[in-house]
Structure 1
Amino acid sequence: MNVLIADDEKDMLKILKVYFEKEGFQVFLAEDGEEALTIFYSNKINLAILDWMMPKTSGLQVCKEIKSNSDVKILMLTAKSENEDELEALNIGADDYVRKPFHPGILLTRAKKLLRKEKVAQVKDIKIDLEAKKIYKNNKDLNATKTEFELLNCLLDHKGNILTRKKLLDIVWGFDYFGEERTVDTHIRRLREKIGEGIIKTHRGLGYSLEEENG
């Protein structure tokens, strides 16, 4: 998943970049509205996090332009506290609104919810129940382990992107895990035995991705 974060506070950008990259996002940073639009038109962006007050072009104007040209999710940031401002942001198409100051972890959680509203995802004949944390094949519960579910969920979050073994270890097992990267291969193999071969793709020397085609 690609996220654009636009804010004229450089320290804020650095902190948010760390938080989002830790969760496997590819992060694009902009320090003003014009730069944000240039990035939007040059890359496939899944979510834009825009500060309301930015140099050159305001976050509000950027939001309007992005929404008029795409269905990209937009989360507005602002130091303003008036409810009218929140209403204005939502009326021009913003999907959510967060007031400053905020904890980066809370922003990340709100962003992830925006990116995936549905509670059940379908990939070919596999159904992933995101609330119950279960995986079904042709409506039969596969009794996936917690790690197997988290692996598939992680690949689903980044569908279309190749995730390295290191990235999968960081996201699924955590940054404090110091085991072998081959642990990922073992769990992928077990997961494939349950869900079938045509869903998780191996990219030799790179990592794994979830196939784009839904069936």
Structure 2
Amino acid sequence: MANYTDAVCKLCRREGQKLFLKGERCLSPKCAIERRPYPPGEHGKKATFRRKVSDYGMQLREKQKARRIYGVMEKQFRRYFREASRRKGLTGATLLTILESRLDNVVYRLGFADSRSQARQLVRHGHFEVNGRKTDIPSYLVSVGDVISVRANSQNNAYFKERAQIIQNGAKVPAWLSLNPMTLSGSVVGEPSREDIEIPLNEQLIVEYYSR
């Protein structure tokens, strides 16, 4: 996540649920929240017995959860919210649509990476093209009709050869994306709707947080 350098498993433990920040490890018994299902820190085990969380506390936690899932810092997240509030439709759902449209998230959704953080690193290293042009900005927002592909030189890397095998064995992508396993490319065929975004978030709480 951007400038966060501590163990990302602590973020899942702080939110009390899996945020799937480490890919396959999150599905294994090694997952930190499976072994220590309580917040990190000296008093983590006692957190369960604390007083009821306030409305503000729930709003804050939901906002932090969304930021951590997508790997976005506060300043940028607030900018996304302002953009969502200017667009037509429900602000919360629109915010998630914007977050889903980030290039690093699309790379992750297409199966080219095990996690969004890994996808972000691959994008920064210049392994992807958007509409035939090298794009190394993880926050780049894709649009309907855009084609995202692994660059020709990168397709010879051992990592992408392994990913090609995994993808060809039956990778599943959201309905708003299409994938061509043979060319290691995908395209945006529509805008992600709230029903397409299978993330355990209550976006209304985020709207309430910023509307205080």
Indicate the TM-score class for this superposition, using the shorter chain for normalisation: under 0.3
Higher helix share: 2
Higher strand share: 1
**Which structure's relative contact order is higher, taking Cα pairs within 8 Å and 6+ residues apart?**
2
Compute the TM-score of the two structures, normalised by the length of structure 2.
0.27
Compute the TM-score of the two structures, normalised by the length of structure 1.
0.27
